[in-house]
Amino acid sequence: MAIHALIFDVFGTLLDWHGGVAREASRLLAPVRPDIDGGAFARAWRDRYQPAMEPVRRGERAWTDLDTLHAEGLDGVLAQFGVEGLTPEIKRELVLAWHRLDAWPEVPAALTRLRGGFLLAPCSNAHVRLAIAHARRNALPWDAILGAEFARDYKPKPAVYLRAAEALGLPPGEVMMVAAHTSDLVAAAGCGLATAHIARPDENGPGTGEAAPAAPVDVAASDLADLARRLGC
Amino acid sequence: MAIHALIFDVFGTLLDWHGGVAREASRLLAPVRPDIDGGAFARAWRDRYQPAMEPVRRGERAWTDLDTLHAEGLDGVLAQFGVEGLTPEIKRELVLAWHRLDAWPEVPAALTRLRGGFLLAPCSNAHVRLAIAHARRNALPWDAILGAEFARDYKPKPAVYLRAAEALGLPPGEVMMVAAHTSDLVAAAGCGLATAHIARPDENGPGTGEAAPAAPVDVAASDLADLARRLGC
Protein backbone atom coordinates (compact mmCIF):
# COMPACT_ATOMS: atom_id res chain seq x y z
CA MET A 1 0.00 0.00 0.00
CA ALA A 2 1.17 3.50 -0.84
CA ILE A 3 -1.16 5.53 1.37
CA HIS A 4 -0.74 9.29 1.35
CA ALA A 5 -3.81 10.47 3.25
CA LEU A 6 -6.03 9.30 6.08
CA ILE A 7 -9.66 10.35 6.35
CA PHE A 8 -11.63 9.76 9.51
CA ASP A 9 -15.03 8.98 10.82
CA VAL A 10 -15.52 11.21 13.84
CA PHE A 11 -18.53 10.29 16.03
CA GLY A 12 -17.42 7.28 18.04
CA THR A 13 -14.14 6.81 16.19
CA LEU A 14 -12.38 9.96 17.39
CA LEU A 15 -14.90 11.56 19.73
CA ASP A 16 -16.93 10.24 22.65
CA TRP A 17 -20.34 11.41 21.41
CA HIS A 18 -22.15 9.35 24.05
CA GLY A 19 -20.31 10.75 27.04
CA GLY A 20 -20.40 14.30 25.72
CA VAL A 21 -24.08 14.44 24.88
CA ALA A 22 -24.97 12.62 28.12
CA ARG A 23 -23.00 15.18 30.12
CA GLU A 24 -24.59 18.18 28.39
CA ALA A 25 -28.11 16.70 28.50
CA SER A 26 -27.82 15.97 32.23
CA ARG A 27 -26.59 19.50 32.87
CA LEU A 28 -29.20 21.24 30.75
CA LEU A 29 -32.17 19.10 31.81
CA ALA A 30 -31.31 19.09 35.53
CA PRO A 31 -33.36 22.20 36.39
CA VAL A 32 -36.56 20.68 34.98
CA ARG A 33 -35.99 16.92 35.01
CA PRO A 34 -33.10 15.81 37.23
CA ASP A 35 -34.39 12.23 37.01
CA ILE A 36 -33.48 11.77 33.33
CA ASP A 37 -30.43 9.64 32.58
CA GLY A 38 -28.19 11.63 30.22
CA GLY A 39 -26.82 8.49 28.58
CA ALA A 40 -30.29 7.13 27.78
CA PHE A 41 -31.21 10.55 26.39
CA ALA A 42 -28.07 10.61 24.21
CA ARG A 43 -28.73 7.11 22.86
CA ALA A 44 -32.38 7.90 22.06
CA TRP A 45 -31.26 11.03 20.19
CA ARG A 46 -28.57 9.15 18.28
CA ASP A 47 -31.15 6.51 17.28
CA ARG A 48 -32.91 9.20 15.25
CA TYR A 49 -29.72 10.10 13.38
CA GLN A 50 -29.59 7.51 10.61
CA PRO A 51 -33.28 7.80 9.59
CA ALA A 52 -33.02 11.60 9.60
CA MET A 53 -30.32 11.51 6.91
CA GLU A 54 -32.25 9.16 4.63
CA PRO A 55 -34.29 11.78 2.72
CA VAL A 56 -31.05 13.64 1.88
CA ARG A 57 -29.36 10.42 0.76
CA ARG A 58 -32.35 9.57 -1.41
CA GLY A 59 -32.29 13.03 -2.98
CA GLU A 60 -35.75 13.86 -1.64
CA ARG A 61 -34.44 16.63 0.55
CA ALA A 62 -31.80 19.27 -0.24
CA TRP A 63 -28.57 19.24 1.74
CA THR A 64 -29.46 19.81 5.40
CA ASP A 65 -26.81 19.93 8.12
CA LEU A 66 -26.67 17.96 11.36
CA ASP A 67 -27.55 20.94 13.55
CA THR A 68 -30.87 21.07 11.73
CA LEU A 69 -31.41 17.30 11.84
CA HIS A 70 -30.44 17.21 15.52
CA ALA A 71 -32.87 20.05 16.29
CA GLU A 72 -35.67 18.25 14.44
CA GLY A 73 -34.92 15.00 16.26
CA LEU A 74 -34.75 16.71 19.62
CA ASP A 75 -38.46 17.41 19.76
CA GLY A 76 -39.17 13.71 19.35
CA VAL A 77 -36.68 12.75 22.05
CA LEU A 78 -38.11 15.31 24.46
CA ALA A 79 -41.62 13.94 23.85
CA GLN A 80 -40.30 10.40 24.34
CA PHE A 81 -38.92 11.39 27.77
CA GLY A 82 -41.98 13.49 28.63
CA VAL A 83 -40.03 16.73 28.86
CA GLU A 84 -42.14 19.84 28.33
CA GLY A 85 -41.71 23.57 28.39
CA LEU A 86 -38.03 23.97 27.47
CA THR A 87 -37.14 27.42 26.22
CA PRO A 88 -35.78 27.82 22.67
CA GLU A 89 -32.48 28.83 24.27
CA ILE A 90 -32.19 25.55 26.17
CA LYS A 91 -33.13 23.59 23.06
CA ARG A 92 -30.41 25.45 21.16
CA GLU A 93 -27.91 24.62 23.89
CA LEU A 94 -28.89 20.96 23.68
CA VAL A 95 -28.18 20.95 19.93
CA LEU A 96 -24.80 22.51 20.71
CA ALA A 97 -24.04 19.51 22.95
CA TRP A 98 -22.93 17.82 19.72
CA HIS A 99 -20.33 20.60 19.30
CA ARG A 100 -18.91 19.98 22.78
CA LEU A 101 -17.62 16.45 22.43
CA ASP A 102 -14.29 15.33 23.80
CA ALA A 103 -11.84 13.19 21.87
CA TRP A 104 -10.91 9.75 23.18
CA PRO A 105 -7.77 10.29 25.24
CA GLU A 106 -5.15 9.04 22.77
CA VAL A 107 -6.57 10.85 19.72
CA PRO A 108 -4.96 14.33 19.65
CA ALA A 109 -1.41 13.07 20.16
CA ALA A 110 -1.89 10.18 17.73
CA LEU A 111 -3.22 12.53 15.02
CA THR A 112 -0.25 14.81 15.53
CA ARG A 113 2.07 11.84 14.96
CA LEU A 114 0.10 10.74 11.90
CA ARG A 115 0.28 14.24 10.43
CA GLY A 116 4.02 13.74 9.94
CA GLY A 117 3.35 11.00 7.42
CA PHE A 118 -0.05 11.65 5.92
CA LEU A 119 -2.54 14.29 4.89
CA LEU A 120 -5.37 14.21 7.43
CA ALA A 121 -9.02 15.19 7.13
CA PRO A 122 -12.28 14.21 8.75
CA CYS A 123 -14.70 12.40 6.44
CA SER A 124 -17.67 12.59 8.75
CA ASN A 125 -21.33 13.38 8.44
CA ALA A 126 -20.63 16.46 10.56
CA HIS A 127 -20.87 19.74 8.68
CA VAL A 128 -17.94 22.14 8.47
CA ARG A 129 -18.89 24.36 11.40
CA LEU A 130 -19.46 21.34 13.65
CA ALA A 131 -16.12 19.83 12.58
CA ILE A 132 -14.41 23.15 13.36
CA ALA A 133 -15.92 23.11 16.85
CA HIS A 134 -14.61 19.58 17.40
CA ALA A 135 -11.17 20.50 16.06
CA ARG A 136 -10.82 23.65 18.15
CA ARG A 137 -12.01 21.93 21.34
CA ASN A 138 -9.64 18.98 20.93
CA ALA A 139 -6.74 20.47 18.93
CA LEU A 140 -7.28 18.11 15.99
CA PRO A 141 -4.62 19.02 13.38
CA TRP A 142 -6.67 18.73 10.19
CA ASP A 143 -5.33 19.71 6.79
CA ALA A 144 -8.87 20.28 5.53
CA ILE A 145 -12.47 19.59 6.53
CA LEU A 146 -13.92 17.08 4.10
CA GLY A 147 -16.95 14.79 4.37
CA ALA A 148 -20.68 15.27 4.07
CA GLU A 149 -20.98 19.02 3.55
CA PHE A 150 -18.13 19.04 1.04
CA ALA A 151 -20.05 16.47 -1.02
CA ARG A 152 -23.50 17.74 0.02
CA ASP A 153 -24.60 14.19 0.73
CA TYR A 154 -24.31 11.78 3.65
CA LYS A 155 -22.19 8.67 4.15
CA PRO A 156 -22.32 5.92 3.13
CA LYS A 157 -23.09 7.46 -0.28
CA PRO A 158 -20.01 6.97 -2.51
CA ALA A 159 -19.73 10.66 -3.37
CA VAL A 160 -18.70 11.49 0.18
CA TYR A 161 -15.63 9.22 0.06
CA LEU A 162 -14.79 9.94 -3.58
CA ARG A 163 -15.01 13.72 -3.28
CA ALA A 164 -12.71 13.56 -0.27
CA ALA A 165 -10.08 11.64 -2.25
CA GLU A 166 -10.47 14.00 -5.20
CA ALA A 167 -9.97 17.05 -2.96
CA LEU A 168 -6.79 15.51 -1.60
CA GLY A 169 -5.56 15.09 -5.17
CA LEU A 170 -5.22 11.33 -4.77
CA PRO A 171 -6.70 8.23 -6.37
CA PRO A 172 -9.00 6.42 -3.90
CA GLY A 173 -6.48 3.61 -3.44
CA GLU A 174 -3.97 6.03 -1.92
CA VAL A 175 -6.45 7.18 0.73
CA MET A 176 -7.29 5.19 3.85
CA MET A 177 -10.66 5.52 5.60
CA VAL A 178 -10.37 5.14 9.37
CA ALA A 179 -13.50 4.24 11.33
CA ALA A 180 -14.81 2.27 14.29
CA HIS A 181 -17.79 1.06 12.28
CA THR A 182 -17.57 -1.78 9.76
CA SER A 183 -20.42 -0.41 7.64
CA ASP A 184 -18.49 2.81 7.01
CA LEU A 185 -15.38 0.86 6.00
CA VAL A 186 -17.30 -1.49 3.71
CA ALA A 187 -18.73 1.53 1.89
CA ALA A 188 -15.29 3.15 1.60
CA ALA A 189 -13.74 -0.09 0.34
CA GLY A 190 -16.49 -0.25 -2.26
CA CYS A 191 -15.18 3.09 -3.56
CA GLY A 192 -11.64 1.74 -3.77
CA LEU A 193 -10.26 3.25 -0.56
CA ALA A 194 -7.98 1.41 1.85
CA THR A 195 -9.50 0.82 5.28
CA ALA A 196 -8.46 0.85 8.93
CA HIS A 197 -10.69 -0.26 11.78
CA ILE A 198 -10.33 1.26 15.24
CA ALA A 199 -11.72 -0.82 18.11
CA ARG A 200 -14.18 1.10 20.28
CA PRO A 201 -15.82 -1.78 22.14
CA ASP A 202 -17.42 0.56 24.69
CA GLU A 203 -18.52 3.28 22.26
CA ASN A 204 -21.76 4.02 24.08
CA GLY A 205 -21.47 1.86 27.15
CA PRO A 206 -19.74 -1.44 27.96
CA GLY A 207 -19.87 -3.90 25.07
CA THR A 208 -21.92 -1.65 22.80
CA GLY A 209 -19.26 -0.96 20.17
CA GLU A 210 -17.18 -2.97 17.72
CA ALA A 211 -14.20 -4.72 19.32
CA ALA A 212 -13.12 -5.94 15.88
CA PRO A 213 -14.17 -5.39 12.27
CA ALA A 214 -16.96 -7.62 10.96
CA ALA A 215 -15.56 -7.59 7.41
CA PRO A 216 -12.05 -7.63 5.92
CA VAL A 217 -10.03 -4.42 6.38
CA ASP A 218 -6.45 -3.47 5.56
CA VAL A 219 -5.55 -2.66 9.15
CA ALA A 220 -7.32 -3.45 12.42
CA ALA A 221 -6.02 -1.34 15.30
CA SER A 222 -6.82 -1.31 19.00
CA ASP A 223 -6.87 2.50 19.09
CA LEU A 224 -5.48 5.46 17.13
CA ALA A 225 -2.05 5.27 18.77
CA ASP A 226 -1.88 1.63 17.65
CA LEU A 227 -2.78 2.71 14.10
CA ALA A 228 0.00 5.32 14.16
CA ARG A 229 2.48 2.63 15.23
CA ARG A 230 1.31 0.25 12.54
CA LEU A 231 1.67 2.95 9.89
CA GLY A 232 5.19 3.75 11.03
CA CYS A 233 4.48 7.14 12.64
CA MET B 1 -19.69 45.16 13.00
CA ALA B 2 -19.97 41.79 14.70
CA ILE B 3 -17.51 39.79 12.65
CA HIS B 4 -16.93 36.16 13.63
CA ALA B 5 -14.90 34.83 10.72
CA LEU B 6 -12.30 36.07 8.27
CA ILE B 7 -11.88 34.51 4.83
CA PHE B 8 -8.86 35.27 2.70
CA ASP B 9 -7.70 35.70 -0.80
CA VAL B 10 -4.37 33.91 -1.03
CA PHE B 11 -2.36 34.68 -4.21
CA GLY B 12 -0.84 38.09 -3.64
CA THR B 13 -2.73 38.77 -0.42
CA LEU B 14 -1.05 36.15 1.77
CA LEU B 15 1.50 34.54 -0.55
CA ASP B 16 4.18 35.97 -2.83
CA TRP B 17 3.12 34.11 -5.98
CA HIS B 18 5.39 36.25 -8.15
CA GLY B 19 8.57 35.61 -6.22
CA GLY B 20 7.81 31.92 -5.72
CA VAL B 21 6.98 31.10 -9.32
CA ALA B 22 9.90 33.24 -10.56
CA ARG B 23 12.29 31.33 -8.29
CA GLU B 24 11.02 27.91 -9.35
CA ALA B 25 10.88 28.82 -13.05
CA SER B 26 14.44 30.14 -12.99
CA ARG B 27 15.63 26.99 -11.25
CA LEU B 28 13.78 24.56 -13.51
CA LEU B 29 14.48 26.34 -16.79
CA ALA B 30 18.16 27.04 -16.05
CA PRO B 31 19.47 23.82 -17.62
CA VAL B 32 17.82 24.59 -20.97
CA ARG B 33 17.29 28.36 -20.99
CA PRO B 34 19.32 30.24 -18.37
CA ASP B 35 18.53 33.50 -20.19
CA ILE B 36 14.84 33.53 -19.25
CA ASP B 37 13.80 35.98 -16.55
CA GLY B 38 11.78 34.03 -13.96
CA GLY B 39 9.69 37.05 -13.05
CA ALA B 40 8.66 37.72 -16.63
CA PHE B 41 7.80 34.04 -17.00
CA ALA B 42 5.69 34.14 -13.83
CA ARG B 43 3.81 37.23 -14.98
CA ALA B 44 3.12 35.78 -18.42
CA TRP B 45 1.76 32.62 -16.80
CA ARG B 46 -0.40 34.58 -14.36
CA ASP B 47 -1.82 36.60 -17.29
CA ARG B 48 -3.41 33.39 -18.55
CA TYR B 49 -5.09 32.73 -15.21
CA GLN B 50 -8.24 34.86 -15.41
CA PRO B 51 -9.22 33.85 -18.97
CA ALA B 52 -8.61 30.18 -18.14
CA MET B 53 -11.27 30.28 -15.41
CA GLU B 54 -13.90 31.93 -17.59
CA PRO B 55 -15.40 28.76 -19.15
CA VAL B 56 -15.92 27.32 -15.65
CA ARG B 57 -17.51 30.55 -14.44
CA ARG B 58 -19.82 30.59 -17.45
CA GLY B 59 -20.84 26.99 -16.82
CA GLU B 60 -19.39 25.85 -20.15
CA ARG B 61 -16.78 23.68 -18.51
CA ALA B 62 -17.15 21.39 -15.48
CA TRP B 63 -15.17 22.22 -12.36
CA THR B 64 -11.47 22.09 -13.25
CA ASP B 65 -8.75 22.78 -10.70
CA LEU B 66 -5.86 25.22 -10.95
CA ASP B 67 -3.23 22.51 -11.43
CA THR B 68 -5.03 21.59 -14.64
CA LEU B 69 -5.51 25.20 -15.74
CA HIS B 70 -1.88 26.01 -14.91
CA ALA B 71 -0.70 22.98 -16.90
CA GLU B 72 -2.83 24.01 -19.87
CA GLY B 73 -1.53 27.59 -19.68
CA LEU B 74 2.07 26.45 -19.35
CA ASP B 75 2.27 25.20 -22.91
CA GLY B 76 1.31 28.65 -24.18
CA VAL B 77 3.83 30.38 -21.94
CA LEU B 78 6.59 28.03 -23.02
CA ALA B 79 5.75 28.73 -26.67
CA GLN B 80 5.70 32.47 -25.92
CA PHE B 81 9.25 32.22 -24.52
CA GLY B 82 10.39 29.85 -27.24
CA VAL B 83 11.14 27.01 -24.84
CA GLU B 84 11.08 23.57 -26.44
CA GLY B 85 11.72 20.01 -25.45
CA LEU B 86 10.90 20.05 -21.72
CA THR B 87 10.19 16.62 -20.28
CA PRO B 88 6.76 15.91 -18.78
CA GLU B 89 8.53 15.67 -15.41
CA ILE B 90 9.90 19.21 -15.68
CA LYS B 91 6.53 20.53 -16.81
CA ARG B 92 4.95 18.83 -13.79
CA GLU B 93 7.55 20.42 -11.53
CA LEU B 94 6.76 23.82 -13.04
CA VAL B 95 3.06 23.36 -12.23
CA LEU B 96 4.10 22.48 -8.69
CA ALA B 97 5.85 25.85 -8.46
CA TRP B 98 2.40 27.19 -7.53
CA HIS B 99 2.44 24.82 -4.53
CA ARG B 100 5.79 26.17 -3.31
CA LEU B 101 4.90 29.76 -2.57
CA ASP B 102 6.10 31.58 0.51
CA ALA B 103 3.89 33.76 2.66
CA TRP B 104 4.65 37.45 3.02
CA PRO B 105 6.79 37.71 6.14
CA GLU B 106 4.17 38.97 8.61
CA VAL B 107 1.44 36.54 7.57
CA PRO B 108 1.91 33.37 9.69
CA ALA B 109 2.24 35.22 13.00
CA ALA B 110 -0.63 37.60 12.15
CA LEU B 111 -2.93 34.70 11.27
CA THR B 112 -2.06 33.00 14.54
CA ARG B 113 -3.06 36.18 16.40
CA LEU B 114 -6.29 36.49 14.38
CA ARG B 115 -7.18 32.87 15.12
CA GLY B 116 -7.74 33.86 18.75
CA GLY B 117 -10.65 36.05 17.75
CA PHE B 118 -12.05 34.66 14.53
CA LEU B 119 -12.68 31.54 12.51
CA LEU B 120 -10.19 31.58 9.63
CA ALA B 121 -10.35 30.01 6.18
CA PRO B 122 -8.93 30.72 2.76
CA CYS B 123 -11.50 31.75 0.16
CA SER B 124 -9.20 31.46 -2.81
CA ASN B 125 -9.41 30.07 -6.29
CA ALA B 126 -6.83 27.50 -5.19
CA HIS B 127 -8.19 23.97 -4.87
CA VAL B 128 -8.01 22.05 -1.62
CA ARG B 129 -4.78 20.17 -2.30
CA LEU B 130 -3.03 23.37 -3.38
CA ALA B 131 -4.29 25.20 -0.29
CA ILE B 132 -3.01 22.34 1.88
CA ALA B 133 0.43 22.68 0.29
CA HIS B 134 0.43 26.42 1.04
CA ALA B 135 -0.73 25.84 4.60
CA ARG B 136 1.83 23.14 5.37
CA ARG B 137 4.71 25.11 3.85
CA ASN B 138 3.85 28.29 5.74
CA ALA B 139 2.11 26.99 8.89
CA LEU B 140 -1.14 28.77 8.08
CA PRO B 141 -3.57 27.90 10.93
CA TRP B 142 -6.77 27.38 8.95
CA ASP B 143 -9.99 26.12 10.52
CA ALA B 144 -11.15 24.82 7.14
CA ILE B 145 -10.29 25.09 3.46
CA LEU B 146 -13.09 26.95 1.71
CA GLY B 147 -13.20 28.76 -1.64
CA ALA B 148 -13.43 27.66 -5.23
CA GLU B 149 -13.36 23.88 -4.94
CA PHE B 150 -15.83 23.92 -2.05
CA ALA B 151 -18.28 25.82 -4.29
CA ARG B 152 -17.06 24.20 -7.52
CA ASP B 153 -16.91 27.60 -9.18
CA TYR B 154 -14.41 30.45 -9.34
CA LYS B 155 -14.39 33.88 -7.73
CA PRO B 156 -15.80 36.40 -8.25
CA LYS B 157 -18.94 34.25 -8.69
CA PRO B 158 -21.21 34.88 -5.65
CA ALA B 159 -21.50 31.19 -4.80
CA VAL B 160 -17.85 31.06 -3.74
CA TYR B 161 -18.31 33.74 -1.06
CA LEU B 162 -21.79 32.62 -0.01
CA ARG B 163 -20.92 28.94 0.34
CA ALA B 164 -17.94 29.91 2.50
CA ALA B 165 -20.19 31.88 4.86
CA GLU B 166 -22.74 29.07 4.91
CA ALA B 167 -20.06 26.51 5.80
CA LEU B 168 -18.93 28.71 8.67
CA GLY B 169 -22.51 28.79 9.93
CA LEU B 170 -22.70 32.56 9.68
CA PRO B 171 -24.77 35.12 7.79
CA PRO B 172 -22.62 36.91 5.19
CA GLY B 173 -22.58 40.12 7.22
CA GLU B 174 -20.69 38.37 10.03
CA VAL B 175 -17.90 37.25 7.69
CA MET B 176 -15.13 39.54 6.46
CA MET B 177 -13.38 38.96 3.13
CA VAL B 178 -9.71 39.94 3.26
CA ALA B 179 -7.92 40.66 -0.02
CA ALA B 180 -5.30 42.81 -1.70
CA HIS B 181 -7.50 43.23 -4.79
CA THR B 182 -10.42 45.65 -4.92
CA SER B 183 -12.31 43.57 -7.46
CA ASP B 184 -12.44 40.61 -5.04
CA LEU B 185 -13.72 42.85 -2.25
CA VAL B 186 -16.36 44.50 -4.44
CA ALA B 187 -17.69 41.06 -5.34
CA ALA B 188 -17.72 39.96 -1.68
CA ALA B 189 -19.46 43.16 -0.61
CA GLY B 190 -22.07 42.50 -3.27
CA CYS B 191 -22.84 39.26 -1.44
CA GLY B 192 -23.22 41.10 1.86
CA LEU B 193 -19.80 40.31 3.35
CA ALA B 194 -17.70 42.83 5.25
CA THR B 195 -14.40 43.68 3.57
CA ALA B 196 -10.79 44.37 4.50
CA HIS B 197 -8.16 45.53 2.04
CA ILE B 198 -4.50 44.63 2.52
CA ALA B 199 -1.99 46.87 0.75
CA ARG B 200 0.44 44.95 -1.45
CA PRO B 201 1.82 47.78 -3.57
CA ASP B 202 4.70 45.64 -4.85
CA GLU B 203 2.71 42.46 -5.44
CA ASN B 204 4.61 41.50 -8.60
CA GLY B 205 7.30 44.13 -8.75
CA PRO B 206 7.59 47.75 -7.55
CA GLY B 207 4.35 49.68 -7.98
CA THR B 208 2.44 46.82 -9.59
CA GLY B 209 -0.02 46.16 -6.76
CA GLU B 210 -2.74 48.08 -4.94
CA ALA B 211 -1.41 50.48 -2.31
CA ALA B 212 -4.99 51.31 -1.33
CA PRO B 213 -8.49 50.09 -2.20
CA ALA B 214 -10.13 51.62 -5.26
CA ALA B 215 -13.63 51.27 -3.76
CA PRO B 216 -15.09 51.64 -0.25
CA VAL B 217 -14.14 48.89 2.21
CA ASP B 218 -14.78 48.39 5.92
CA VAL B 219 -11.10 48.28 6.84
CA ALA B 220 -7.99 49.27 4.87
CA ALA B 221 -4.81 47.84 6.39
CA SER B 222 -1.15 48.25 5.50
CA ASP B 223 -0.48 44.54 6.03
CA LEU B 224 -1.95 41.56 7.91
CA ALA B 225 -0.33 42.53 11.21
CA ASP B 226 -2.01 45.94 10.86
CA LEU B 227 -5.36 44.21 10.25
CA ALA B 228 -4.88 42.11 13.38
CA ARG B 229 -4.23 45.26 15.40
CA ARG B 230 -7.26 47.02 13.95
CA LEU B 231 -9.46 44.03 14.79
CA GLY B 232 -8.19 43.95 18.37
CA CYS B 233 -6.09 40.79 18.14
pLDDT tens-digit profile, chain B (233 residues): 699 999 999 999 999 999 999 999 999 999 999 999 999 999 999 999 999 999 999 999 999 999 999 999 999 999 999 999 999 999 999 999 999 999 999 999 999 999 999 999 999 999 999 999 999 999 999 999 999 999 999 999 999 999 999 999 999 999 999 999 999 999 999 999 999 999 999 999 889 999 999 999 999 999 999 999 999 99
Nearest by CB: A143 against B127, B135, B167: B135
Residue A205 is predicted with a pLDDT of 84
The domain that holds A44 is classified in CATH as: 1.10.150.240
Would residue B104 be called left, alpha or beta, if left means φ above 0 and alpha means ψ between -120 and 50 degrees? beta
Are B109 and B171 found together in one domain? Answer: yes
Angle subtended by helix axes A66-80 and A38-47, to nearest 10: 120
Nearest by CB: A150 against B119, B127, B150: B150
Consecutive H or E run containing A28: helix A17-29
Are B11 and B21 found together in one domain? Answer: no
Contact A145 B144 (CB under 8 A): yes
Are A83 and A37 found together in one domain? Answer: yes
Consecutive H or E run containing B124: strand B119-124
Positions in chain A short of pLDDT 70: 1
Are B138 and B170 found together in one domain? Answer: yes
Are B75 and B107 found together in one domain? Answer: no
Domain residues for the domain of B138 are 5-16+101-230
Are A126 and A50 found together in one domain? Answer: no
Nearest by CB: B129 against A131, A135, A169: A169
Nearest by CB: A144 against B67, B128, B168: B128
Contact B167 A127 (CB under 8 A): yes
Q: Which residue of A has its CA nearest to B149?
A: A167
B71 touches chain A (CB under 8 A): no
Are B125 and B217 found together in one domain? Answer: yes
Consecutive H or E run containing B162: helix B158-167
pLDDT digits (tens, 9 = 90+) for A135-176: 999 999 999 999 999 999 999 999 999 999 999 999 999 999
B168 touches chain A (CB under 8 A): yes
DSSP E strands in chain A: the ranges are 5-8, 119-124, 146-147, 175-179, 194-198, 219-221
d(CA A176, CA A191): 11
Count of structural domains, chain B:
2
What would the 3-class secondary structure string for B48-85 be? CHHHHHHHHHCCCCCCCCHHHHHHHHHHHHHHHCCCCC
d(CA A76, CA A83): 10
State which of B99, B124, B145 marks the end of a domain: B99
d(CA B201, CA B222): 10
Are B51 and B87 found together in one domain? Answer: yes
Are B74 and B172 found together in one domain? Answer: no
Are A171 and A207 found together in one domain? Answer: yes
Q: Round the CA-based radius of gyration of chain B to a whole number and report it.
A: 18
The domain that holds A128 is classified in CATH as: 3.40.50.1000
State which of A99, A123, A148 marks the end of a domain: A99
Are B209 and B133 found together in one domain? Answer: yes
Are B9 and B33 found together in one domain? Answer: no
Cβ–Cβ under 8 Å, residues B180 and B208: no
Residue A1 is predicted with a pLDDT of 65
State which of B99, B134, B149 marks the end of a domain: B99
**B129, B136, B137: best mutation site toward chain A, by most A Cβ within 10 Å?**
B129
Q: Which residue of B has its CA nearest to A149?
A: B167
